[in-house]
A and B are shown apart, each in its own frame.
Chain A
Amino acid sequence: MSASRRRPHLDVDHLIDDPLTHVIVCCGSGGVGKTTTAAALALRAAERGRKVVVLTIDPARRLAQSMGLAELDNVPRAVSGVGLAAGGGLDAMMLDMKRTFDEVVEAHATPERARQILANPFYQALSSSFAGTQEYMAMEKLGQLRRRDQWDLIVVDTPPSRSALDFLDAPERLGSFLDGRLIRLLGGPARTGGKAYRKFFQAGFNVVTGALTKVLGGDLLRDVQTFVNALDTMFGGFRERAEQTYALLQRPETSFLVVAVPEQDALREASYFVDRLSEEGMPLAGLVLNRLHVEDTTDGISEGQAIAGAERLEALEGHELAASLLRLHAERLAAAAHDLRTADRFTVAHPDVPVAPVQALPTDVHDLDGLREIGRLLAKRHGV
């Protein structure tokens, strides 16, 4: 057994108990347990006395199941069964991106304009299927929750995007598009600048719209133009809102937790994210390493000894069960060694990133007790 690298420990309880922590963002690639981690942290913080809301995005409604809620819509609802003795509480909500988008439109446009926008086919497609809408609306919802000042801790689960970085980039992308040059152009040349500029622009405009009509077909172009014209009053608003939320993410009251599992792909994504957060000056609390196979090896036997023992037992009569148990033990020692090696590689590259290892559970988590157990493991001081 090679000696494990010493890695800084992520003190989860210190993080969630700190009254200055108001936002925790859980990010990472798909399938690493972000939603469960977010829910477990929120529950633990609530039972330790914080007033918490957890915002989940995943359409698989996993959190709904694990929180025992039949319905998670765009409104935070109290989770029952949470221990309130410490004076805290837990609300949970699931992001409805289309409804959130509709709300932004309604808040910024006159009722009539809002109706036009909401009825526009291009808007409808944009608000329900653009891959970045979810990220943008998650940010928007986070901003809204923070402004309501009703909770002292918001835990956010991030969308199941292609890569963890989408969460940071997509809102900016959508914001720039909605406020950008192309959409102004599509809205018609009348909108822009002085006469000379307009003349210059008109020529370019014709080339562009000609090409667009050719590529997209006239209908789509008309829908986009109607959408843009209806959106007139909201120009600037989108980008500004995205920027505000981005700024919120940079404040010290926010902490990012990068979630991963001890597998190469997941840790590679985690590394990208860690680097990106540091570039953007975003506050990284640490890495949550889920589903870690842990075997206590003190005074134990090695994988090789276990296999050798199993082989000798298999050659004898009447020791089949013991042989099987040694094989099983060898497999688990190998898994634990693999996980440790993989985790070590991350630590070599990022020696200063605190890590909270979470031991793999034999079964799935789908109730509050399971979440409590995960919370306990998250906060546990491990020897690994």
Chain B
Amino acid sequence: MGDWEGVRLHVVTGKGGTGKTTVASSLAIALAAGGRKVLLVEVEGRQGLAQLFDVAPLEYSEHRIVPAAGGGEVFGLAIDAREAMYEYLAMFYRLGRAGRALDRVGFVDFATTIAPGLRDVLLTGKTYEAVRRRDDQGEYVYDAVVLDAPPTGRVTRFLDVNTSVSSLARMGPIHRQASAITTLVHSPRTAVHVVTVLEEMPVQETVDVVGELHEAQIPVGAVVVNQTRSSYLSDEERAVASAGRLDRPALAESLRAVGMPDTDALVERLCADAASHADRVEMENEARSGLDELDRPVYELPHVPGTIDPTALYELAEMLKEQGAS
């Protein structure tokens, strides 16, 4: 049994540059394993999913993007605030003429780019609808929805739409919509996973956002430590390397033993690499200890050399699954 039984909405956030789109995609593949249907949603208009999966730009409609193990399927959706607004007007208000009039005076622009919080209600509202959608037999259409959410700095406000919107729209349909989303987001059916790398600032932002989410009573899922690198040296060897005291003659001898050039230049280069590696590992260990206090499940994903392709996503998905993410 996985760590996220009963969770229907997986929100993935992280500081910019930590790889949250990669992690969200791998998580979707992991969750779809065993014949499940998962919807992967992006809301920032970047077409990050299309680039990652190497498929045509996603539209404002749900398309199957990749299969998963055991007959599972991952669908993709890029939510566009403007399209969501039209859909919203048509669905809830049957606004024909007035809807077009609203667009002419710039209301759609206003609602989708300026009005504080409305954009977020539209984006989360569509996600909410997908989470709750049922088919003719009354079964959920998607077993899980994975949302590639805004970065850590904005995610709490993004999810906690009720606070920003209900103080403004104190009644009416927008208020009702915001309240319904808020109920889902604050329930155990939601988990917000935070992606980080082992550097001071991303870890600090992770700690901060976990605190904010707790404060807002939004359930925090796992911390995903991305782009970890293997350590080639023992603690002791790193200490010696960092102090610049590696045994150079012994190294030269080793190189000679396998017929490699044993020049001082190469030996020095290897020692310099080792020293900077040791410093890096020490910094990573410090960063890692900052995550311990959060008391959340931690998944680690290795650094993938080069550009991430769909094959790499399956490998990362497998690693997530092995660590309990299903």
Contacts and interface: CB of A to CB of B under 8 A. Distances in A.
Interface string A103-128: 00000000000000000011001101
A182 B17 contact: no
B274 A217 contact: no
A30 to B, nearest CB: 2
A239 to B, nearest CB: 14
Contacts of B114: 126, 130, 132, 173-174, 177
Interface stretch (A70-78, A143-151, A218-226): A218-226
Contacts of B101: 204, 207-208, 211
A181 B106 contact: yes
A334 to B, nearest CB: 6
B266 interface: yes
Interface in B128-150: 150
A207 B98 contact: yes
B279 A30 contact: no
B306 interface: yes
B199 to A, nearest CB: 6
Contacts of A364: 199-201, 283
Given A301-B260, A316-B257, A364-B199, A208 B102 contact: yes
Contact of B254 (A58, A261, A322): A322
Interface stretch (A38-46, A324-332, A348-356): A324-332
Nearest to B99: A211
Contacts of A263: 17
Contacts of B116: 125-126, 128-130
Contacts of B263: 299
Contacts of B291: none
Nearest to B164: A129
Contact of B280 (A212, A309, A334, A363): A363
Given A264-B307, A309-B255, A328-B273, A214 B107 contact: no
Contacts, number: 208
Contact of A319 (B89, B171, B205, B257): B257
B269 interface: yes
Given A160-B151, A181-B106, A217-B173, A121 B18 contact: no
Interface string A50-62: 0000000011101
B107 A212 contact: yes
B137 to A, nearest CB: 34
A300 B105 CA distance: 66
Interface in B148-182: 150-151, 153-154, 157, 164, 167-175
A363 B151 contact: no
Q: How large is the interface on B (under 10, 10 to 19, 20 to 34, 35 or more residues)?
A: 35 or more
A180 interface: yes
Contact of A217 (B46, B102, B175, B259): B175
A220 B98 contact: no
A329 B269 contact: yes
B274 A300 contact: no
A126 B86 CA distance: 23
Contacts of B70: none
A353 to B, nearest CB: 21
B15 A335 contact: no
Contacts of B169: 216-217, 219-220
A362 interface: yes
A177 B98 contact: no
Contact of A338 (B167, B205, B306): B306
Contacts of B18: 31
Nearest to B232: A324
6 contacts: A31-B202, A125-B164, A207-B97, A215-B173, A309-B258, A362-B279
Interface of A: 29-32, 58-60, 62, 121-122, 125-126, 128-132, 160, 162-163, 173-174, 177, 180-182, 185, 204, 207-208, 210-212, 214-220, 223, 261, 263-266, 295-296, 299-301, 305, 309, 312-313, 316, 319, 321-329, 331-332, 334-335, 338, 362-364, 366
Interface of B: 15-18, 44-46, 48, 51, 89, 93, 95, 97-99, 101-102, 105-107, 109-111, 113-117, 119, 150-151, 153-154, 157, 164, 167-175, 199-202, 204-205, 208, 229, 232-233, 237, 246, 250-251, 254-255, 257-261, 263, 265-266, 269-271, 273-274, 276-277, 279-280, 283, 305-307
Closest CB pairs A-B (n = 10): A30-B16, A31-B17, A217-B172, A31-B16, A322-B254, A211-B98, A125-B116, A312-B258, A362-B279, A324-B232
